[in-house]
Structure 1
Amino acid sequence: MKRVVVDMQNALFADAIATALRDFDSDFEVFPSESPDKTTDMCADTQANVLIMEVTAYTPWKIEERMKIRDEVKSYCPDCKIVLVVDENTEKKLADKVRRAKKDGLIDNFLYGSVSATYLSAVVDTL
């Protein structure tokens, strides 16, 4: 069973990701986080294998805040894979920062918000 915590600004987007993961493979157990403040605890409680977080230009979804959550999660779950999701069309500079975080080894992967549900699920499955 692969345990995935999903932390998104938009609850409908989080639900869509959870549904896509479950439909892709019944071995995914998905836990939507109610707020960024609860994400670290949820990852620790579930011993998450993967954390998917949306990054935006607004608090509390800014990349700097997401990196703090990443650090906290890694202290509880050092093997948890971190995936950031960013809208490359409206957040071009932010998308570059997220891509740089991957290049620098700060995160395990990133996805653009425009990818298909199947592609997102396949990427998570390979982590």
Structure 2
Amino acid sequence: MVRDPAPSEESPSLQTVLEALDDADCRAILRETTEPMTANELSDTCDIPTSTLYRKLELLSEAALVRERVAINPGGGRTTRYVRDFDDVTISMDDGEFDVAVERPARGADERLADIWSKMGDEL
């Protein structure tokens, strides 16, 4: 299972973001996740083996570049979809130190509620 990304008000470390963006498979996943996709859909679309895909999703999650959307199925079980979770990534240098800032898309009330529901489901 992919871990929750860093909270929206926190930026991930520069090293973590650079590692994710330096990976060709991660970049392919980011290109495809403008709309939520399941791991199987991403595996097929990006031509990445499922076991590798989950490692790449973990890397992207640690960099707070993708997030999980979990939906409860009416017949039971859950479906997890992954979606790109940034509008812009900026790397800057100030006083000789590099910094990274991740600009996030605005989330509607329904998405915030879905995030809360997903976290509650993880606790059960």
TM beyond 0.5: no
- Bigger helix fraction: 1
Q: TM-score, normalised by structure 2?
A: 0.32
- Greater relative CO, 1 or 2 (CA 8 Å, sep 6+): 2
Q: TM-score, normalised by structure 1?
A: 0.31
In terms of Rg, which structure is larger? 2
